[in-house]
Amino acid sequence: MEEKLMAKSAIDKLFNPKSVAVVGASRHSGKIGHAVLYNLVYGGYRGKIYPINPNANEVLGLQCYPSVLKVPEEIDLAVITVPSVLVPQVMEEIGQKNISTSIVISSGFKEVGGEGAKLEREIVEIAKKYGIRFLGPNCFGVIDTWNSLNTTFSSQSPLKGHIAFISQSGALCVAILNQGLMEKIGFSKFINLGNKADIDEIDLMEYLADDPQTKVITLYLEDIRQGRKFVRTARKVVKKKPVLVIKAGRTEEGEKAVSSHTGSLAGMDVAYETAFKQSGVIRAYRIDELFDAAEAFANQPIPKSEKVAIITNGGGVGVLLTDAASLNGLKFARFSQKTIEELHKFLPPFASFRNPLDVTGNANEEVYFNAFKTIINDPNVDGVITASLPLQIMDERKLAHLIGEVATQVKKPVIGCFMGGEEVEEVEDILRKYNIPNYTEPERAVKAYAKLVRYKKILEELNMEENVVTFDVNRKGVAEIFKKLREENRTRLTEIEAKQVLENYGIIVPKYRVVKSLEEAVEAAEDIGYPVVLKIVSPDIIHKSDIGAVKINIIDEKKLRVAYQEIIRNVKKHAPKAVVHGISVQEMVPSGIEVIIGGIKDPQFGPLVMFGLGGIYVEIFRDVAFRVTPVSEREAEKMISEIRGYNIIRGVRGRTRGDINFIKETIMRVSQLLEDFKEISELDINPLTVHEKGGFAVDARMKIKY
Ligand code: COA
C-alpha cells in the first residue's frame, strides 16, 4: 500500500513538480537542453527551476549547478538532456539526491540496439536501486497545460483543455500538437512514453483516472507489454472516464508457425482487439476519429440512451446524417405529440415533423432555434445533432449563440454539424464557447456522437457483475499428462491425451478405448456399441484423415475388421516412421451443430479463448469470437451471441436448437484449463458437437510449450 502511494506521488511529480532540474541545460539556443529550459522559464511554470551544467555558471539568467547534488534545495523532477553515455552517472546522482521522478529525453538506448540496449538496462537498474520512477528514455517529455509545465523541446504548447494524450511516438506528439493548435483542441496533458523502460501507459492511465482536469484519456500505442495488467487497469479506469486508443500495426500478420485453427485465426491484432473490447477501451482507426470523439467526451455529457434527434435546414445533409446514424447504431427518438404540435406553430407545413427534423431552407435563425429548443426538451430525445447550412436568410452566428445558451442548460449532449461557408470558423468559435464541438462533415459528427453512446453502453456492461465460475476439476491428472510429455520431450499431445486433459476438466468426450490388436478392437467396439469410429493414435500424425487413418460409421464387426486393417496399411505406407500408441475405438456420436472452441497463448495478453461455428464457417467466414481469460459467465454468453452464425445455434427455420448452456460451460471450462496451465500454447476442440441437450468434444488437438 505504502509503495503504491509512493509510486503515485512520483508520477504526480511528472505533472505537478514544485521544482524542476534540467540536467544538460545548454547555453546554446539550438540545443535540446536549452529549449527545454527555455520552455520551463518562459512557458509560465511557477515552480523553481535549476539548470544543471558543469560547463556553465548561468543559463537564461538562472544560476547553474554542476550537478543535482550541488543544489541546496529539494528537487521534485529532473529532466535529462545529456548524451546517453552520461545518463547512468546522472541517474546515480539523481538517486543520491533523492529525486523521485525523472524524464530521460536523451536518445541512444534500446531503440539503437547493442550498446544502447545495455545502457538502458543500466539506467533501469540504477532507477530501481534508488526507487526513481522515470519516463523514457528517448522521449519528448510532458506538457501539463493546467500547471503551465512544458518539459519538452517543442516550440509551442497546446491549448488548455480536458483531453489527455499519451503517445508512444514522439514525432506523432509534435504532429498532434500542431494540428491541435490549428483545430483549437484543448489538452490537459501531453505525454510521450518513449522507450517505456519504466513508466508506461498503464501507470499513466491509472494516474489520469483521478486527474480532475482530464475528462478523457487518448492513447497512441505501438505495443502493450503487460497485456493482462493493461486489461485489469483499463477496466477500472474506464469506469471513471473514457479511454480512446489508436493501436498502430493492426494489419501485421502473426509469423508464428501455428498448426491449430485457433492459432491461424488469431492474427497479431486479435489479442489487442479482444483486450480493448473486454476492458471497455474504445478503439479508433484514424487520428481524426480519435480526436473527434475525444472532443465530444471532453465537452459534452454522456447521453442516457442511443435515442438521438437530428435537426437540419437542408434535406441532403439530413439524409447523410440519417444514413451515418443508422450505420453507427444510433436510434431516432420518436417526437412526442406535444413536440409535434409545438413545431406546427412555427414551421411551414411542408417541413418534416418527424425525426430527422428538416426545418427547411425557409427557416431563419429564430425558427430553427425554436425547433431546436422544442426537440431538445422532448423527454424522448436524449441528445441532438444540430446541422446547419449557411443560407442567406440565416444568421448562423446568432443561431450558434442561441443553441449554445440552451445546450448548456440541458444535461443532454449536443453535437454540431455547421457546414462550411466563409464564417464557419467564427461560428465554430462561438459554439466552442458553449462547449459544443462542431464537425463540418456529417459522418464525423455522427461517429463522435455514436462514441458517446458506446461509452454509455460500456459503462452499463462494466458495472454488471462478472461471475467467473471455478469448476471442480482434476488438475493433478492434467499435470501428470504434461509431466509425461515433458519426460518424453514431446510438445504435441495425441488426440487421446488431449481428450484426457479435457475429461479431467469435465468436458465430455465420446466413449473411447485405445487398443493394440484387432481382437481388442472387436471387444472394445462390442462394449462401446456400434456404430463406432476408428482412429490412429500417434503423436507424429496430425492430419489423420488425410492419410486414411480415420474410419467412421463402422456398423458391425465385419466392417470393423476391414477398417482396422486398412488403417494399419495406410499408416505403414504414408507414415512408416510414426510412433504409434495404438488405435482408438470411439463411440460414433450422432451429428449435431458443429462448433469450435479453441485456445491460444499470446505473448503479451496470455491465454485467449476462441469460439466459433465449426466446419466451413470457421474456415471460410472466420466467424469467431475471442476473449482474454478468465472468461466470466456473461462474457461466455456474449461470445456465443456475437458471432454471425448465432442464429444457426439458436435453431432458425425449424432447425434443432443447440444447447447454449452446454457451450457456455465448455467455454468456461476451457478458460479455466488455460488459466491453470499456462504451458498450453494451442488448443482446438473441433468439432464440439452440440445437441439439444449437451454434446461432445469429438476431436481435440493440443500443444504445450515448456
Ligand atoms: N551534467 C549536466 N550537463 C552536462 C554534463 C553533465 N554531466 N555534461 C555535459 N553537460 C552539458 C554540456 O556542456 C552541454 O551544455 P553546453 O552546450 O552549454 O556546453 C549540454 O550538457 C548538452 O550536452 P551536449 O554534449 O552538447 O549534447 P547535445 O545537446 O548535443 O545532445 C541530447 C544531447 C540528449 C539532446 C542528444 O544526445 C540526444 O539524445 N538527442 C535526441 C533527443 C531526442 O530526439 N529524443 C526523443 C524525442 S521524441
User: What ligand 1 atom has the least distance to the C-alpha of 55?
Assistant: 13
Q: 33 CA to middle of ligand 1, Å?
A: 6
Q: 44 CA to middle of ligand 1, Å?
A: 24
Q: 49 CA to middle of ligand 1, Å?
A: 18
CA distances from 129 to 122, 137, 528 (A): 11, 17, 65
Q: 696 CA to middle of ligand 1, Å?
A: 67
Give pLDDT tens digits for 79-124: 999 999 999 999 999 999 999 999 999 999 999 999 999 999 999 9
pLDDT band at 199 (very low <50, low <70, confident <90, very high): very high
Q: 202 CA to middle of ligand 1, Å?
A: 29
Q: Which residues line ligand 1 (CB under 6 A)?
A: 23-24, 26-28, 31-33, 52-56, 81-83, 86, 90, 105-108, 138-140, 170, 192
The answer to which of 252-256, 283-287, 533-537 has the lowest mean pLDDT is 252-256
Question: Quick one: which of 14, 11, 15 has its CA closest to 202?
Answer: 11
Q: 158 CA to middle of ligand 1, Å?
A: 25
Average pLDDT, the chain: 93
Q: CB–CB of 215/228 below 8 Å?
A: no
Average pLDDT over residues 387-396: 89
DSSP letter at 505 equals: T
Q: 300 CA to middle of ligand 1, Å?
A: 43
Q: CB–CB of 329/307 below 8 Å?
A: no
Q: 58 CA to middle of ligand 1, Å?
A: 16
Structural Rg of the chain based on CA atoms: 32
Give pLDDT tens digits for 224-257: 999 999 999 999 999 999 999 999 875 544 444 4
**Number of other CB atoms surrounding residue 343 within 10 Å:** 21
How far from the centroid of its chain's Cα atoms is residue 376's Cα?
34
pLDDT band at 2 (very low <50, low <70, confident <90, very high): very low
pLDDT of residue 653: 73
Q: How far apart are CA 550 and CA 677, in angstroms?
A: 30
The answer to which of 6-15, 401-410, 642-651, 686-695 has the lowest mean pLDDT is 6-15
pTM above 0.85, yes or no: yes
Q: SS3 for 276?
A: helix
Question: Quick one: which of 622, 642, 678 has its CA closest to 228?
Answer: 678
pLDDT of residue 4: 46
Q: 90 CA to middle of ligand 1, Å?
A: 12
Q: Please provide residue 46's backbone torsions phi and psi, each rounded to the nearest 5 degrees.
A: -105, 0
Question: Quick one: which of 354, 358, 351, 318 has its CA closest to 445?
Answer: 318
Nearest residue (CA) to ligand 1, atom 21: 24
User: What ligand 1 atom has the least distance to the C-alpha of 107?
Assistant: 39
Among 31, 110, 193, the mutation site with the greatest number of ligand 1 atoms within 8 A of its Cβ is 31
Q: CB–CB of 40/61 below 8 Å?
A: no
Nearest residue (CA) to ligand 1, atom 37: 83
β-strand pairing of 48-52 with 62-63: unpaired
Give pLDDT tens digits for 576-633: 999 999 999 999 999 899 999 999 999 889 999 999 998 777 777 788 999 999 999 9
Nearest residue (CA) to ligand 1, atom 13: 55
User: What ligand 1 atom has the least distance to the C-alpha of 27?
Assistant: 18
Q: CB–CB of 11/199 below 8 Å?
A: yes
Q: 25 CA to middle of ligand 1, Å?
A: 8
The per-residue b/e assignment along 498-527, b for 16 or more CB within 10 angstroms, e otherwise, is: bbbbbbbbebbbbbbbbbeeeeebeebbee
pLDDT of residue 266: 58
**Number of other CB atoms surrounding residue 600 within 10 Å:** 30
DSSP letter at 692 equals: S
Percentage of the chain beyond pLDDT 70 is 96
pLDDT of residue 655: 77
Q: SS3 for 483?
A: helix
Between CA 330 and CA 337, with CA 336 as vertex, the angle to 5 degrees is 150
pLDDT band at 692 (very low <50, low <70, confident <90, very high): very high
As to burial, measured by CB atoms within 10 angstroms (0-12 exposed, 13-18 middle, 19+ buried), residue 391 is middle
Among 29, 53, 143, 151, the mutation site with the greatest number of ligand 1 atoms within 8 A of its Cβ is 53
User: What ligand 1 atom has the least distance to the C-alpha of 105?
Assistant: 45
Average pLDDT over residues 496-512: 96
Average pLDDT over residues 203-214: 97
Question: Quick one: which of 536, 535, 531 has its CA closest to 554?
Answer: 531
Q: How far apart are CA 562 and CA 264, in angstroms?
A: 36
Cell of 114: 547493442
Average pLDDT over residues 381-409: 94
Among 82, 123, 192, the mutation site with the greatest number of ligand 1 atoms within 8 A of its Cβ is 82
Give pLDDT tens digits for 295-350: 999 999 999 999 999 999 988 889 999 999 999 999 999 999 999 999 999 998 88
Among 27, 29, 32, 168, the mutation site with the greatest number of ligand 1 atoms within 8 A of its Cβ is 32
Q: 192 CA to middle of ligand 1, Å?
A: 19
Among 23, 26, 86, 190, the mutation site with the greatest number of ligand 1 atoms within 8 A of its Cβ is 26
Positions of E strands within 53-92: 58-59, 62-63, 77-80
Q: 636 CA to middle of ligand 1, Å?
A: 54
H/E stretch holding 460 reads helix 442-462
pLDDT of residue 261: 60
Q: 22 CA to middle of ligand 1, Å?
A: 10
Q: How far apart are CA 412 and CA 305, in angstroms?
A: 10
Amino acid (one-letter) located at 299: N
Q: How far apart are CA 680 and CA 604, in angstroms?
A: 15
